[in-house]
Amino acid sequence: MNKIFKKIKYIIKYPLSQISSRTEISQGTKIKPFVYISGQVKIGKNCQIGPFSRIREVTELKDSVQIGHFVEIKNSIINKGTKINHQAYIGDAEIGKNVNIGAGVITCNYDGQKKHKTIIEDNAFIGTNNSLVAPVKIGKNAYTAAGSVITEDVPAYALAIGRARQINKLGWVKKRRLKKAS
């Protein structure tokens, strides 16, 4: 049995997960299969993590946080009651209480030279397939629409929509196929 589990009572760790010795895990936490936790990580009470998730260095999950399938978190604080349930990357972020982060959300934290921080305040709702381009702040109770690229701060109680207008090019496929055939 790993040294770390001698100090921790009342957690459930499923098979095929790896946890570094510098991780602190509080009671009531479930770590599902194929979870990888490395570096200085602190996990609060009654959290659920995985399967197939990565929790990386300098991350803190407060109580009752849900981290789902294929989520990666690095250098971030995730506050109480927040849910990040599917296929997301959260890096260099501070996430408030009771935030919902939809599938496919990423924090775009690196500009090619340095890392920037994303802040999401309490009770915000981040829509599916959002790219949050840091530095950016999402206010309390704010929403972002699905498929948005968020490049500016979003005020509290606002809805941010950052999408390009859809254009349908009629007949494009037929023209392309004819061009390829000739």
CB-count exposure of residue 30 (10 Å: 0-12, 13-18, 19+):
middle
Q: Is 86 a catalytic residue?
A: yes
Q: Annotated catalytic residue: which of 45, 83, 86, 115?
A: 86
Specify the pairing of strand 72-74 against strand 143-144: unpaired
- CB atoms inside a 10 Å sphere around CB 128: 17
**Taking the alpha carbons of 131, 88, 38, 10 in that order, is the dihedral positive or negative?**
positive
Write out the H or E segment, with its range, that includes residue 180: helix 172-181
CB-count exposure of residue 152 (10 Å: 0-12, 13-18, 19+):
exposed
Active-site annotation, residues? 86
